[in-house]
A and B are shown apart, each in its own frame.
Chain A
């Protein structure tokens, strides 16, 4: 199934206007000149529409705030020089303590900027809610991510495979990742594709992502989780549909299945676990991991961090 995303008509992700692109270039170039190499970083070189949109908001917000930042720099430099104590030619008004037009400006201009920013904030926060399907007309690829000490287990329920420390996804297909933790609080992020969301035991959170270019990007836990934290990372491989199918087939051939017993063994703390494929998965493994932390009190159903609000 070759899905072509019709993103703009749904208004989910808006491509950046040319102006912001050139601004991005100017900013990026400035940073590059400083020898930063930041252009190659995942945030400023996105491989998916989510990071791209998040980056655009970043540039817009920086640009609008220059309205107050630049005057501060100019005033500070100018006043320091002009009104230095030794300059007896500058005007000196020791009792000037109030001037109403100035008061209106110092309250009004920041307030106006915040109104502008606030409107954008609401708009973008709803648009980029990580729980939102990127394209409601397309059935996303479902992935279940389980945080363990100190590795990530990804289960593909439809394909009935699982893999440790590697996430393969087909390009241009929306991915819907449901997330939980079988240990302490974690946070799942693949910066080239989008922002993060926490993983918590007994709860399910969600990330919707999409890669629009093939490539390999790092992802990891970014919520400190103990001594193995620094090693808790994985590669995300975005490939064509055909290569993805071949990858699934490879996992299917691996021979070992992830049954309850194998899972128990896997869930024990371990570091630098090599990529491991499982050709089959214990039914409802993800839900069982969540249910493990729930309790019998009928009134207290398993927590879901996000009240799944009806849209």
Chain B
């Protein structure tokens, strides 16, 4: 009876077996409780539930995505700090983490950083900005957007809950079978990983569809494809990659789930299973995934470098073509993750060559950004600092990437810390710096005030110095032969490098502290840093045409686009901030809890499947089905904001504009002048 009710969940699943595991659980539980306490203290439950959880406004969904990402960044960083400190001391001794715990930590670090830090951060920035950049009032499918958010959050929730009830996977973020099969890892850990990935993966596929359709169908009049801002172009390609890549992950993880839960033999050693199929499927998603993450970051860099060089983006067409080339090539290189699986020289040469070819469009991008700075007037605001740090650091990662693309070198360096150094060298300066630049660049658009620049710059310097200290030693360690995922080691020459790397991790920690302080200080001083115009950086693209924060409908009147850098062009022609003669009624989707209900049921489904609580799994599936039916039969999903109310909001905005400086950047010593029409040549 007990087994039917609770599956394999027992009181022993609570982490009282280890002080470290128990304190991790305590931090998680106390964190959740204190968030609830804060909401209760401010009496904000109504606001949280009715204005945010049920919201299907793309801007609010974007903000919630970024909040999930920042929380998970902290959790993922704690994992990283534990690994670095363990390896710094574990020469000829066991350190403070037993293997079983260390293995859970590197597994959750990778899983969290890719799936629940980078992916939500990416979806958040896209949601917040992309519709405004193309002059749209919303995404194509606002309700589906809400489902995507809550499924992603459900996945993140499963990873967090694994800290409190049961254990997490020890199979690494890639979960290679047969190790991840039930024969070798029978517990609930791999199941937590699988269901977190499965649930959030469905959300990501839907996000891809949503973004792609939005870009194709919802552009403002005159916004032709070759007038799209570069960020939107990168989102376009990333969405296509999401749609085609994520199903491969869902299939791989679904089959592994069948192996584990229902005794199938897709990837087992015995009975005709073949683990190589999993590895191919996983990387068929996994390689496009790194471009899914990095292309929008490239988009952010493109916007930031043009804005803060006060100059048009150099080589727009080149950058678009390079983005597309990377998107296509990303599906032709997956085998480079396993050159060492015994493929023939012919196969390895092909995939190695395709991989090196990706260096060409990537190199083009780097040079185009540099040429954008050429003969510009560079203003070193924090987003620009992150961009410059990226430019210099990223090419080192590109270099090591090309080295790893050469199969004979990969035979030596595969599975070593050289590989770890390489992909962190791509993902920290490439992806995370891009997202942080985007966070500081677009924060005023989300909240109406600017982030503190001193603390922003401080966070940048900590991140970049910490990065070099933490990861350059790992390159050296790779040349010394150190494998990844070592819980302890017996080679004395490795230890000094690991100690330097741990110091680097500590400096990165200071960078994260600076981000927190920046946010707190900026909220405290928000009155002095208000963005009254909606255009704090003398921006070039349409998201700066809206107020900060933007009205629920973004644009009271859809803008007429006549050129690349549409907003700059409108300012130059003197048609920016023109008061329309009349306003119209605007249909806006109503808030609904159904997205959150589906996400919550997704979480329960995952939890039930992890613990084999079959009745609960069936119940949650039924809830999901019922929620979809209820929503599908609801014909009254929009409300109409009357023109009079639009006028009221817009009048307030124009009153604010009248008090605001003409150009918020005009005080900057590096300011090069207001947008002006191109001189006739």
Contact = CB atoms under 8 A, between A and B. Distances in A.
B178 A57 contact: no
B269 A76 contact: no
Interface string B306-343: 00011111111110000000000000000000101111
Contacts of A57: 406, 408-409
Nearest to A53: B408
B35 interface: no
B364 interface: yes
Given A44-B479, A226-B179, A61 B411 contact: no
Contacts of A189: 412, 415, 481
A185 B176 contact: yes
Given A42-B481, A293-B269, A309-B346, A97 B315 contact: yes
Nearest to B355: A121
B395 A69 contact: yes
Interface in A71-108: 72-73, 75-76, 79-80, 83-86, 90-99, 102-103, 105-107
Contacts of A4: none
A37 interface: yes
B402 interface: yes
Given A227-B103, A300-B272, A58 B480 contact: no
A33 interface: no
A195 B410 contact: yes
Given A65-B402, A187-B340, A226-B170, A40 B178 contact: no
A13 to B, nearest CB: 11
A62 B399 contact: yes
B345 A126 contact: yes
A95 B313 contact: no
A305 B370 contact: no
* Category for how many chain B residues contact A: 35 or more
Interface residues of A, number: 102
Interface stretch (A153-161, A217-225, A238-246, A278-286): A217-225
Given A36-B476, A54-B412, A69-B395, 9 more contacts: A37-B480, A43-B479, A62-B399, A92-B310, A92-B377, A106-B363, A125-B349, A125-B352, A307-B344
Interface of A: 31, 35-38, 40-44, 51, 53-55, 57-58, 61-62, 65, 68-69, 72-73, 75-76, 79-80, 83-86, 90-99, 102-103, 105-107, 109-111, 114, 117-118, 120-122, 124-131, 183-185, 187, 189, 191, 194-198, 200-203, 205-206, 218, 220, 222-230, 233, 293, 295, 297, 300, 303-307, 309
22 contacts: A36-B497, A41-B481, A43-B413, A65-B402, A79-B370, A83-B374, A91-B375, A92-B310, A95-B678, A96-B311, A97-B314, A110-B359, A110-B363, A125-B406, A200-B275, A201-B178, A202-B269, A222-B415, A222-B483, A226-B170, A229-B485, A306-B344
Interface of B: 99-100, 103, 170, 172, 176, 178-179, 184, 269-272, 274-276, 309-318, 338, 340-346, 348-349, 352-353, 356-357, 359-360, 363-364, 366-368, 370-371, 373-380, 388, 391-392, 395-396, 399, 402-403, 405-416, 476, 478-481, 483-491, 493, 496-497, 668-672, 678
